[in-house]
Structure 1
Amino acid sequence: MTEPEIIEPETIREGGLIPRHLEGREITRAALLLPFSHPNASARNEAANLLQAAELALFEHGADTLILMPKDTGGTNEGARQAAQAAIDDGAEIILGPLFGAAATAAGDVARRYDVPVLAFSTDTSIAGNGVYLLSLPPEQEVARITGYVSLLGVQRFAFIGPGGAYGSAVRNALEETAALNGGSLVAEETYVGGVEAMTSAARRLSQLGFTSLQARDAMMFNSSEWVPSANAPFQAVMLPEGGTRLRTLGPLLPYYEIDPLIVRFLGTGLWNNEETRREPVLHGGWFAGPDAEAHEAFATRYQSAFGDEPSRIASHAYDAVLLAVFFANEGEVSRAALEDPEGFYGADGLFRFRADGQIERGLAVYEVRRDGFRVIDPAPRSFDPAVF
């Protein structure tokens, strides 16, 4: 007969509650602020994914040194502020989350008064800094990585075709900047707002620089040889910052208007990193930058084994956040200086480090789209160059 589980009483000490089995140990408390009761089901599901990833990291690395304290923000800025204050009152030395930008700002305003760092999951880069660090990868770094790679191959003339709005503008500006840093230039650009009609018009305008259709003999030659930048093409690489169905709509429009992927290298952002991309033949041979797939797949396998589901796209951020909290618990101190260690850390998405401005820098690989998946053509680094920021 199985003995009933004995639940040990917990002890309340100054600075927070301590489970009985952790009595007498040096303990670090980390608060996990997430919208568990958000009115939107997708937000609640994401919160659940992040919590499970955090629990996985705690189980694997820090069950005897770290207390994880989940706090519900309710999906509001005021809820985030109250959750941050409650966490600090309970002795939190580091705050993980919130998920959304405005909530992270509210939590950061509270945490800053107590010199408690915040590791937020938001993609809003404007909130980073002054004690708030972002685990999400900004598209500018993806663009810099892929632009730098193709520049080494001789690409000097770049084009952009993508959506209007904040994301498209961020990618476009990063492309122009990093092309210039590598001795190239952005020679053509088209933006659109809307669906297939707007995309079609933009692709038609982009083609008016002087592309002509390939003859069958030339196409066979290009298809059987290693790609090199064309000296005569109006541009040698084009950035398409779309994903999913929208990317599969945009991609075929370019060769329809004679911008042939055998001549012009199609480039993408992290939005390409999904199964739909490889289902579009026009995108085969295209390149994009992304985190270390080997590291992420290992995390995803362990997550699925533990919880029976695949992790969400950003669940790894919560895993890495807890991994950092465990590291600081073992070191005995949480500090901004330690967070900004220029040598960085290795987590569920590979190598990363935080800059002094609160943004993350990740070691990214370059991938080629194939029919059967994504092939690494330039691996992610295993260490960082000396910091220059």
Structure 2
Amino acid sequence: MTKIHRLSYLILMLTLLSVSSFALQGCSESWNAAKTWKGAFPEHDPNDPTANRPDRLEVTETNIANPTRATANQQNLPPIKVAILLPLSGQHNALGNSMLQAAQMALFEMGYENFELIPRDTKATAEGAHAAAQSALNENPQLIIGPIFANSVRAVQSVTQGKNINIISFSTDWTLAQNNTYLMGFMPFAQVDRIASYASGLKLKNYGIIAPINKYGDTVTSAFKEKVARNGGIISKEARYMPSANNLSAQIKSFAEKSSSLDAIFIPVGGAQAETIAGLLSYHGLTPNRVKYLGSGLWDDKRLMNEHNLRGGIFAGPSPRLRKDFEKRYQALYSKAPIRLASLAYDATALAAVLAQKGNGNYAFNKPSLTNPNGFSGTDGIFRFNQNGLVERGLAILEFSGGGIVEISPAPRSFQ
């Protein structure tokens, strides 16, 4: 499997820009060639969305979303090896390859000359992830980024047990967090806290809940109830259903009966189920004009933007405004839009490079470094890892409006 050094990636991107195609290569090119590539672009192009990047990375609340390009003093940093485990083949190969391209883009933009990225294909299976982790460990990496899915994370944990290496996974299964595993996926806890607090600020007091009967549904329902009670609100209606249910008409009809006093309904589901529930609620009289729909991070989905029954619905999520610059740079480089989760791979790789630079290679990825309470500023806003391995994020309040997603309350800019 190919290893990716930053210098070889410079040459790869030159090829991409000149012939509009990308082929992953393990080539070794000269520094003169890399300098020639760098010199082909103006340093201060006013039309370049990256032109106003800060000259230096801040020591606290590190900004990894808008890094500088390579600087001479970074050439003397010690060699760093980081493995990245993604589904590059199999059912989710499009997602895995988009995330790998984002990681490669971060590798170039962060400018760490001796940073070696080691991609391995998990094939989106536990068996593939087990083999990928074993193969990666043969290269003696100092950190593992990925994988995405819970069963793959468990397989990697079994391989790395006792190996004194930390993992930054993209999973949202909070039960996987442990001593050496940090979860970077979008967790529901902060989303629920943020949306419930915002709703309370709107003077909404009487709430209903419609949620699936599963681990996610149970967790967000419990968290929402607790937060509403703490804010002085009440839960007067609740409908729970099996995720496999084919027809929710009867349940939603029953829920809608004698619900005219509801101020808001919490609907922590995504995709087709969110569309179905919103449509049934509207059909039975609980339209978005009469009651406020509240969602979770599962609503951060462009497919839902044009669902008229969700218009005016609000949810907590990363600021799309902050992510826009990353998406523009990715589009310019690869001539296609990134898949939504690609930003996580960018931030994880950029974070690894920043920690390696600050730690000068020594103890760069230990627990104190990863759990810096000041946190980091990435493409999805500020985030930090808590001692329990779970990520904490600063979230905006977003609204479905005019066929798009509009930020109506900004995300915090620091954890202070």
- Counterpart Cα distance in 1 of 2:78 and 2:243: 56
Residue matched to 2:320: 293
Q: Give the counterpart letter for 1:245 in structure 2.
A: A
Query: Which residues in structure 2 correspond to 1:136-151 (within 5 Å)?
Result: 136-151=185-200
- The equivalent of 1:302 in structure 2 is 329
Q: Write out aligned runs for 1:256-267 (5 A).
A: 256-267=283-294
Greater shift in the superposed pair: 271-280 or 142-151 = 271-280
Check if 1:353 corresponds to 2:381: no
- Listed one character per residue, the Cα deviations across residues 199-235 of structure 1 (whole Å, up to 9, x for unaligned) are 2212211122352xxxxxxxxxxxxxxxxxxxxx2x2
Match of 1:364 among 373, 387, 395: 395
1:26 aligns with 2:78: yes
* Cα distance per residue 1:225-267 (max 9 Å; x no partner): xxxxxxxx2x211012233333222213223222243332111
C-alpha change, 1:256 and 1:7, in structure 2 (3 Å) is closer
List per-residue Cα deviations over 1:154-180 (Å, max 9, x = no partner): 222221113333332232222112212
Whether the 8 Å CA contact 2:316–2:398 is kept in 1: the answer is: yes
**CA separation of 1:152/1:68 partners in 2, compared to 1, >3 Å: closer, same or farther?**
same
> Structure 2 vs 1, CA of residues 91 and 171 (structure 1 numbering), >3 Å: closer, same or farther?
same
Cα pair distance change 1:275/1:101, threshold 3 Å: closer
> Structure 2 matches for 1:68-79, cutoff 5 A?
68-79=117-128
- Partner Cα separation in structure 1 for residue 111 and residue 165 of structure 2: 20
Whole-Å Cα distance in 2 between the matches of residues 49 and 315 of structure 1? Answer: 6
> Post-superposition shift, 1:383?
0.4
Q: C-alpha separation between the residues in 2 aligned to 1:253 and 1:78?
A: 41
Q: Which residue does the alignment assign to 2:144? A: 95
Cα distance 1:201–1:106, how it changes in 2: closer, same or farther (>3 A)?
A: same
Q: What are the residue-to-residue correspondences of 1:121-136 with 2, within 5 Å? A: 121-136=170-185
Aligned mates of 1:72, 1:382 — CA distance in 2: 35
8 A contact 2:82–2:141 mirrored in 1: yes
What count of residue pairs does the alignment treat as equivalent?
A: 345
User: Any stretches of 5+ residues in structure 2 without a counterpart?
Assistant: 1-14, 16-26, 31-73
Which segment drifts farther, 371-380 or 339-348?
Answer: 371-380
Once structures 1 and 2 are overlaid, which stretch shifts more, 318-327 or 161-170? Answer: 161-170
Counterpart CA distance in 2 for 1:210 and 1:81 is 50
Q: Is the CA contact 1:160–1:189 (under 8 Å) kept in the aligned structure 2?
A: yes
What is the letter of the counterpart of residue 384 of structure 1?
F
RMSD of aligned alpha carbons = 2.5
CA 1:79–1:245 in 2, change beyond 3 Å: closer, same or farther? closer
Q: Which residue of 2 aligns with 1:378?
A: 409
* Cα separation, partners in 2 of 1:184 and 1:70, compared to 1, 3 Å: same
Q: Secondary structure at the match of 1:172?
A: helix
Query: Shift in Å at residue 197 of structure 1?
Result: 6.5
Correspondence for 1:270: 297
| Matched ranges for 1:1-389 at <5 A | 7-8=28-29, 25-38=77-90, 40=91, 43-193=92-242, 198-211=247-260, 233=261, 235-331=262-358, 332=360, 333-385=364-416
- CA contact 2:237–2:259 (8 Å) conserved in 1: no
| Equivalent AA in structure 2 for residue 102 of structure 1 | N
How far apart are residue 297 of structure 1 and its match? 1.5
CA contact (8 A) 2:77 2:112 kept: no
Question: Which segment drifts farther, 309-318 or 182-191?
Answer: 182-191
- Give distance in 2, aligned partners of 1:241 and 1:92: 38
Deviating beyond 4 angstroms after TM superposition, the runs of 4 or more aligned structure 1 residues are: 5-9, 22-25, 194-197
Higher-Rg member (1/2): 1
Shift of 1:25: 4.3
Do 1:66 and 1:325's aligned partners in 2 also have CA atoms closer than 8 Å? no
Q: Taking structure 1 as reference, are residues 97 and 91 closer, same or farther at Cα in structure 2, changes over 3 Å only?
A: same
Change (3 A) 1:246 1:113: same
Is the CA contact 1:196–1:250 (under 8 Å) kept in the aligned structure 2? no
Question: 2: CA distance between counterparts of 1:379 and 1:343?
Answer: 19
- The change in CA–CA distance for 1:253 and 1:114 in structure 2 (over 3 A counts) is same
* Equivalent position SS for 2:248: helix
Give the structure-2-normalised TM-score. Answer: 0.77
Shift in alpha-carbon separation, 1:368–1:72, aligned structure 2, 3 A: closer
Deviates more, 1:140-149 or 1:86-95: 86-95
Amino acid paired to 1:344:
G
2:198 counterpart letter in structure 1: Y
Change (3 A) 1:24 1:281: closer
Give the residue type in structure 1 aligned to 2:79.
I
Contact kept? 1:65, 1:329, Cα under 8 Å:
no
Residue pair 2:75, 2:113 contacting (<8 A) in 1 also = no
- Look up the equivalent residue of 1:129 and give its one-letter code: Q
Partner AA of 1:148 in structure 2:
S
Give the partner amino acid of 1:238.
I
